[in-house]
Amino acid sequence: MGFGFVSELEVRGGRRLEGTLMLQGSKNSALPIMAATLLLDGETLLEDCPDILDVREMLAIINGVGGCNEETGCCFTGEGLRLFHNRIDGVPDYESCMRFRASSILMGALLATAGFFAMPYPGGCKIGRRPLDYHIEGFKALGARVEEKDGMLVGYAGQLKGGFYRFPYPSVGALENLLLAAVKADGESVFENCAREPEIVDLCDFLIKAGASVDGAGTDTIRVKGAKRLNGIRYRIPGDRIVAGTYMAACAIAGGNVRLGNIEPGRLDCITDILKKTGCHVFTDGRINEIIIMSDGRRKAVNYLETGPYPGFSTDMQPQMMALAAFSIGSCRIKDRVFESRYRTAWELEKLGADVGTDGDSVIITGRESLHGGVVNATDLRCGAALVIAALGIHGKTVITDCAYIMRGYEDIQRDLEQLGADILWRIKEENAGNR
Ligand code: UD1
């Protein structure tokens, strides 16, 4: 697939999924690690970096602030993503930052290298409010000055100083930003109530291999000692747990027998437990990073699912589990405690005949034996993925529009599912990729 185009997918469901897939590298690990390379001297090579829209968008922004282009700086090579920067400028491209919210992960690295940043304050988002107050308060704790001017967020730091910050809530992005600032600060920083997501562990692992002193990744307290110099390295991005979870849910819906490689099973313990409760068989082998899932296509509903920080149920798997619930026997009440308006998938599933209700701020899905085909809209990345896997369970034709959203996080969902035996086709049409 090329990038920069919106496309539609056409799915004719009713086929079981069978076969083996090697999973792509993790989007949410790759993005902050790309930002981290702004802090390093010399070249970095990221093996298994996924070739997805979000990575391409980050690449363009990083080449802009790093004074390079795809020929002189960062680009995909046969071995992976090569990253190299000539100089660091603290003002990333305005339009790109407006389109791509994860550009906010650049703030910490820009403060630590250019000594300042100026970027648009990211606006609302289709999955709910996404404020940056913890990022800002955390930067202040490291000696930076941050203010909002005419819709722009502007930060200044001479030399950042080690400091202390306790997160009011374990935010992934805010911790990543503070880690990137703290590894170049003068002295020691301590962060409490930290996010424990595997992607935080990956970022810390990368920084340590580049020469940083970081202790406690994966626990709720992280200590960082600032370093003067960090060096470019070769690093392999681990497999994507959300892509793995999506294909596990696909198998649960369609029925079948699927083997997934390049994934640390421990990262999916919560999803594995839920799928076992629905009646799937799941076998994992951490020594060879493999998950096998078997489903006879008849599922029991799990009564209640509530999203939360890792190791809890990930909000990024909530839409896919909603799709599964639409086919299960019984009712499932779903509450998203991380992003309060992440329920658009439910309304799209309703267009396919799903039984959807609400109760306060929860959505209740009562499973039906079958849904019917139709045209539905991918309103965001994981909603799009959820609609595709729902379509696999429908005997009939389903068209999913605005699939560029899916390409933000999945290298090629059509290629992957076709490899497992699904009847799924791209229907490409040129359009703007929209606000991500
Ligand atoms: C990251 C992931 C995203 C995932 C999310 C939660 C990336 C690129 N994105 O997003 O896929 O869904 O974690 O696991 O890795 N909050 C504040 N103030 C802040 C920051 C966050 O109130 O300054 C709140 C948010 O509104 C949200 C919660 O904290 O309710 C968690 O958000 P956060 O962990 O920051 O999500 P992201 O880092 O944006």
Name the residue with tokens 């301590």. Answer: 190
Residue 131: DSSP 8-state: -
Q: How far apart are alpha carbons 122 and 132 in whole angstroms? A: 9
Task: For ligand 1, atom 13, name the residue with the nearest CA.
Answer: 172
CA of 284 to the centre of ligand 1 (A): 29
The alpha carbon of 207 is separated from its chain's Cα centroid by a whole number of angstroms, namely 20
Residues within a 6 A CB radius of ligand 1 = 28, 31, 102, 129-135, 169, 171-174, 195, 199, 315-316, 338-339
Mutate to test the pocket of ligand 1, among 169, 180, 242, 314 (most ligand atoms within 8 A of CB): 169
Read off the pTM: 0.95
* Residues paired with 47 in a beta bridge: 236
Asked if residues 425 and 10 have their Cβ atoms less than 8 Å apart, the reply is yes
Residue 226 one-letter amino acid: G
Structure tokens at 211: 């020469």
**Antiparallel, parallel or unpaired: β 152-156 and 116-120:** antiparallel
Name the residue with tokens 């990368």. Answer: 206
Mutate to test the pocket of ligand 1, among 172, 203, 243, 337 (most ligand atoms within 8 A of CB): 172
Residue 435: CB atoms within 10 A of its CB come to 12
Q: How far apart are alpha carbons 315 and 322 in whole angstroms? A: 11
Q: How far apart are alpha carbons 23 and 260 in whole angstroms? A: 7
CA atoms within 13 A on the CB side of 243: 30
CA of 170 to the centre of ligand 1 (A): 8
Name the residue with tokens 């959807």. Answer: 356
Query: Which residue in 68, 74, 75, 125 is the catalytic one?
Result: 125
Tell me whether residue 75 is one of the annotated catalytic residues: no
pLDDT in tens, the chain (436 residues): 444 566 899 999 999 999 999 999 999 999 999 999 999 999 999 999 999 999 999 999 999 988 777 777 789 999 999 998 888 888 899 888 888 888 999 999 999 999 999 998 775 455 555 789 999 999 999 999 999 888 889 999 988 999 999 999 999 999 999 999 999 999 999 999 999 999 999 999 999 999 999 999 999 999 999 999 999 999 999 999 999 999 999 999 999 999 999 999 999 999 999 999 999 999 999 999 999 999 998 889 999 999 999 999 999 999 999 999 999 999 999 999 998 778 999 999 999 999 999 998 999 999 998 999 999 999 999 999 999 999 999 999 999 999 999 999 999 999 999 999 999 999 875 554 444 4
Angle at 426 between CA 424 and CA 430, to 5 degrees: 160
Task: For ligand 1, atom 35, name the residue with the nearest CA.
Answer: 171
CA of 173 to the centre of ligand 1 (A): 6
CA of 131 to the centre of ligand 1 (A): 9
CA of 172 to the centre of ligand 1 (A): 5
Task: For ligand 1, atom 30, name the residue with the nearest CA.
Answer: 338
* Residues paired with 225 in a beta bridge: 188, 213
- The sheet with strand 234-236 has its strands ordered as 75-77, 80-83, 44-47, 234-236
Q: How many helices (H) and strands (E) does the chain have?
A: 14, 23
Cβ-count burial of 153 within 10 angstroms (0-12 exposed, 13-18 middle, 19+ buried)?
A: buried
